[in-house]
Amino acid sequence: MLTGAVVFLLPRSGEQTEWESVAPAGPMIEQPVQVIRNIAMRATEEPVAVLAVAVVPLVEQNLVQGSVTDTRGVPVPGAVVRVTARVNMLDGQGQSLYPLEPASFTNSDALGRFSFRHAGAVLYDLVISAAGFAPETLTSQQGSHCTAVLTLPATVSGTVTDGNGNAIEGAELNLVQGSRRIVGSTSRSGSYRFEQVAGGAALLEVAHPQFEPQLLRIPAILEDEEVVLDVSLQIGSALTGRVLRANGQAASNATVVVQDLMRMLPCGTLLTDLNGMFRMQSVMLGGRYRISAHGEDCAASLTIHVPREGPAPLVELHLAPRWVFEGTVTAQGGTAIQDATIMLVAENGTNSATTITGSNGGFVVKELVVGMSYRLIAVSPGFAVFQAAGLTALNPQIAAVLEEALSADGHVVSIHGLPLQGAAVKLTFPNNAAAPIFTLTGPDGRWHFDGLPSGDAWMTVMRAGYENSVSSITLVAPARLAAMQTQLSPLN
């Protein structure tokens, strides 16, 4: 029973009324107002003794938290943190369970820390910016702690020309650093310039409809550095293909998606003509591409290599029925886990689906593409993240068993026993598909991790001016390990 709710009777014109139930607000409530409309009642002067009102269950919010420092580990107060939901949760019919909220904003406090609650998503994109620093972009999972290290901004500039040295106007450029992408184009003189560039490695993508695209790697950009990078483009090749149905007839108006496997980036989406033909301009000579075609209830995909000399071969795709993936999610004791979030992501990144488990722990995901390999990710509060790779139409079922989530605490000190703030702590899992996780120590030298899988892990502790510490730990129940102390020695 919900106590403390306030109920208002809001009469409308005619014989219909509208009831509104307002639940007590709290830190875990996303939508404190739930409306039940059009309850049929006849307006009379006689009082109504009892009316049972069904209140729609409210949605809990997810906690997103982290910290902001500079490269020396000094907290950055007042940094602006912008968060947007990246992956929503869907039901079995592919409909969003919760509407994606608009971007939320907050600021880091005097110790560089920030936190806020955001509902209806599994992954989030965070953009952190502060005066005098280059913006930083991170991806965070619900309930995790992320750390943003801000650097002084650098610049990247140069000129784009053809093989004869002539300037190319209107070339499109993308400077990619992790999940952050800066977009620009060349001027009439062929020049370009990117400012507010973060330190670290970067990729520069250069493309023009009449030329072969280029991908240049910048191994390291230093803080406050002026990087000059000139680019020469060569005349490109074209990729031509045909999509056929299972009966051999041309598949007109089929959707064709082309992805560059060398750069792991989408090249574009096309529609086939009346003869089932498609053509992608300006592909890279010597490049590898995955081509996926989608029709009504059928799909196909293949990988091709574009020769360095001569025209690319004609690509032919034969559509086949799509497949359905199903499974169950249980705890180690066999108890079904309801409302666990299930994500199936294609290994090549071109297709994904999300759903949640039912009351029996089961789930069904439709519209998966034959010929693609998928990675399954299962997430549920209180359990470690479950991952399984290499799922195809040959193994359309899985029984995922989630382990109890473990926690770990630690303390990083100097050889004199003084706490070390800003030390980076990294955990990697050699026998588990889970990705490495990071955090920074606070002013008291302490760190904390939640949601850890069981098994062996490597713990690396790093801090500027000190030797790295690498040790092996074993994560087992009970849920929280005893606090670990790491002592760092200064560099000679």
Q: Output the CA–CA distances (angstroms, integers) from residue 312 to 8, 185, 255, in the order listed.
A: 69, 28, 21
Question: Torsion-angle region of residue 137: left (phi > 0), alpha (psi -120 to 50) or beta?
Answer: beta
CB 159, CB 182: distance < 8 Å: no
∠ CA 458-433-387, rounded to 5°:
140
* Residue 73 scores a pLDDT above 70: yes
Give the integer Cα–Cα distance in Å for 6 and 19. Answer: 11
In the sheet with 113-118, reading across from the earlier edge strand, the strands are 113-118, 62-70, 145-150
Give the model's confidence band at 60: pLDDT under 50 very low, under 70 low, under 90 confident, else very high.
Answer: very low
Q: Is residue 311 part of a domain?
A: no
* Residue 149 scores a pLDDT above 60: yes
* Residue 125 scores a pLDDT above 70: yes
Domain boundary among the residues 190, 217, 232 is at 232
Same domain, 143 and 159: no
Q: Is residue 158 part of a domain?
A: yes
CB 318, CB 244: distance < 8 Å: yes
Give the integer Cα–Cα distance in Å for 270 and 253. Answer: 9
Chain-centre distance of CA 153, in angstroms? 25
* Residue 370 scores a pLDDT above 80: no
Give the integer Cα–Cα distance in Å for 388 and 91. Answer: 21
Same domain, 51 and 73: no
Residue 160's pLDDT is what? 94
Q: Is residue 314 part of a domain?
A: no
Q: Is residue 393 part of a domain?
A: yes
Cβ-proximal residues to 47 (8 Å cutoff; 6+ apart), any chain: none
Peptide bond into 102 cis (omega under 30): no
Residue 35's pLDDT is what? 36
Write the DSSP assignment of 146-212 as a string of letters. EEEEE---EEEEEEEE-TTS-B-TT-EEEEEETTEEEEEE--TTSEEEEEEEPSEEEEEEEEETTEE
Amino acid at residue number 220: A
295 closest CA partner among 312, 278, 281: 278
Q: Is residue 313 part of a domain?
A: no
Min mean pLDDT across 86-100, 151-165, 267-281, 291-305 is at 86-100
Q: What is the pTM of this model?
A: 0.39
Eight-class DSSP state of 490: B
Same domain, 445 and 472: yes
Q: Which two tokens stand for residue 373?
A: 């390999």
Same domain, 77 and 112: yes
Residue 359's pLDDT is what? 92
Min mean pLDDT across 30-34, 235-239, 427-431, 467-471 is at 30-34
* Residue 16 scores a pLDDT above 60: no
Give the integer Cα–Cα distance in Å for 453 and 437. Answer: 12
Domain boundary among the residues 11, 30, 58 is at 58
Domain count, the chain: 6
Same domain, 72 and 53: no
Domain boundary among the residues 367, 402, 437 is at 402
Q: Is residue 317 part of a domain?
A: no
Q: Which two tokens stand for residue 114?
A: 């920030």
Looking at per-residue confidence, does 144 or 40 come out higher? 144
CATH code at position 250: 2.60.40.10
Q: Report helix, strand or coil for 323.
A: strand
Same domain, 130 and 196: no
Give the integer Cα–Cα distance in Å for 364 and 358. Answer: 10
Q: Is residue 316 part of a domain?
A: no
**Which residues constitute the domain of residue 109?**
62-150
Residue 92's pLDDT is what? 44
Give the integer Cα–Cα distance in Å for 448 and 274. Answer: 59
Give the pairing of strands 6-11 and 16-22.
Answer: antiparallel
Give the model's confidence band at 43: pLDDT under 50 very low, under 70 low, under 90 confident, else very high.
Answer: very low
Q: Output the CA–CA distances (angstroms, integers) from residue 219 to 72, 139, 199, 202, in the order listed.
A: 21, 22, 10, 7
Residue 324's pLDDT is what? 82
Q: Is residue 433 part of a domain?
A: yes
- Express each pLDDT in 235-290 by its tens digit: 767 788 999 987 888 899 999 988 888 767 778 889 999 989 998 877 777 788 88
